[in-house]
Structure 1
Amino acid sequence: MTKILNTLHPLRMRDLATAEQPREKLLRHGAHGLTDAEVLAILLRTGGRGISAVDLARRLLLSVDHDLHDLARRQLSDLTRIPGIGRVKAMQVVAALELGRRREVATLPDRPVLSDSTACFRYLRPRLGDLNHEEFHVLCLNRAHQLLGARVISRGGTTGTVADAKTIFRAALEFGTVTSLVLAHNHPSGQAHPSAADVRLTHKLCRAARHLDLQVLDHVIVAGRGYYSFADHQLLDQSI
């Protein structure tokens, strides 16, 4: 028994039964029949020293606690710290996740109607949800709440960004038929609840907008897969 155990080695892809190999499973059953690890294994193509591509994919998923949204936020430098993941493999994973993000953006109409927080979040999530730094955006709408355009006002670090009122309203007034705005920024921490500074800024911008005959419809904070809406929590009324 000891002799048999000593001859065992880590499984390689070719050691798996043909029906269990990810590429064969994809051909037989389609991509929907694959586990997350098997999808990643196909992207990685090969494993590392003494480890199969499937096991390497499992190691990668374990590093983010099997959270694909967390994986989408990782940079090349984060992925290459994982044993067996070199620059090429890391680039393959990052590129695949970016393609998925672009597909999510492409499913939205060019000028969506953003009449509630759910619609706003659907538009903002692929743009802000996976960032590991803060950004402040302004969405400019017409009377029908149709998006005229969006502008990135500022980019910051992991704990904050600057949102200058002059820059925000200058960007908004580029659109001649703009009547209302949705303010938006993200919290890379994943905590959606607004800070005291977020509340003060929102009240300040709501007051300033009234002097330009503009209305702030909402301020949406995107935090990964969740969000916080000032309008839903009736925090915009306090600024009037």
Structure 2
Amino acid sequence: MNVDNYPHNLKILSWAEEDRPREKLMLKGKSALSDAELIGILIGSGTISMSAVDLAKLILNNVDNNLNELAKLSLQDLKKFKGIGEAKAISIMSALELGRRRRESEGPKKIRITSSNDVYDLMAPHLLDLMHEEFWVILLNRANTVIKKVQVSAGGVAGTVADPKIIFKIALENLSSGIILVHNHPSGNLMPSQADKDITRRMKEAGKLLEIPVLDHVIFADKSCFSFADEGIL
């Protein structure tokens, strides 16, 4: 498409204020702007015959309105458009590079717990092959999505300490809607001890008072796990 043959458009300053990209962003938020309007803000000014937004539309049209294709254009490619000098081309390239880096820096996908198997898979990197006991708590939101997992204590071969005050302090600080208790048995014996049953009962009672229910207590061994919830003894 030849820029010189592009139809005449009014300059942005002659538009209604709520339609100008910068003003529109301030009034309606960034999500209200089109790709062309956002690029128009980066460009800042257009040419005699077209506004910055129309110039942005022209550029997008040349890449089939595909931002991924736009990101592939070089500095020289962008400078071929009349009205795009080196500074404007660099602004466009910098914004697209920031978007790429943001995608790369996004954290891991949130994990939702739907079964004791999910708990086993989540905790395996931490508890597999350990020769001592550790006690962990998994903090969940209302959708049973993991907020974080926290090691509460580590002990010897025969046991470890789980203090309800510490566990629910962590849960309250992280605004948890529910928790799952997890500890491992290095011996491989999955059956809960009397101490395991007692701590589960105390945790459950404390959770009721604080409205942070204990959804499960999972005993972890190298090849499988025991779930209080699955066994109906929570």
TM-score (norm 1): 0.52
CA distance in 1, matches of 2:109, 2:187: 30
Show the counterpart of 1:169: 168
CA distance in 2, matches of 1:226, 1:191: 10
CA distance in 2, matches of 1:145, 1:137: 17
Structure 1: 4+ residue segments shifted above 6 A = none
Q: Tell me the SS of whatever aligns to 1:173.
A: helix
Write the mapping of 1:1-240 to structure 2, written as runs, cut at 5 A: 109-176=108-175, 178-236=176-234
CA distance in 2, matches of 1:129, 1:215: 27
Amino acid at match of 1:198: D
Q: Which runs of 5+ in 2 are unaligned?
A: 1-107
CA distance in 2, matches of 1:221, 1:110: 25
Q: CA deviation at 1:111?
A: 2.4
Show the counterpart of 1:75: none
Deviation string 1:181-227 (CA, Å, 9 cap, x unpaired) is 00000000011111011011101100001111111110001011111
Q: CA deviation at 1:173?
A: 1.2
Deviation string 1:90-142 (CA, Å, 9 cap, x unpaired) is xxxxxxxxxxxxxxxxxxx5421012111111101221121111000000000
The size of the alignment, in residue pairs, is 128
CA distance in 2, matches of 1:119, 1:166: 26
CA distance in 2, matches of 1:219, 1:155: 17
Amino acid at match of 1:186: N
Q: Give identity over the alignment, percent.
A: 43
CA distance in 2, matches of 1:215, 1:115: 15
TM-score (norm 2): 0.53
CA distance in 1, matches of 2:187, 2:174: 33
Q: Tell me, yes or no, if the aligned pair for 1:221 and 1:227 is still in contact at 8 Å.
A: yes
CA distance in 1, matches of 2:173, 2:148: 9
CA distance in 2, matches of 1:126, 1:116: 18
Q: Tell me the SS of whatever aligns to 1:234.
A: coil
Q: Tell me the SS of whatever aligns to 1:111.
A: coil
Aligned CA distance change for structure 1 residues 110 and 160 (closer, same or farther; 3 Å):
farther
CA distance in 1, matches of 2:171, 2:110: 16
CA distance in 2, matches of 1:172, 1:115: 19
CA distance in 1, matches of 2:133, 2:207: 23
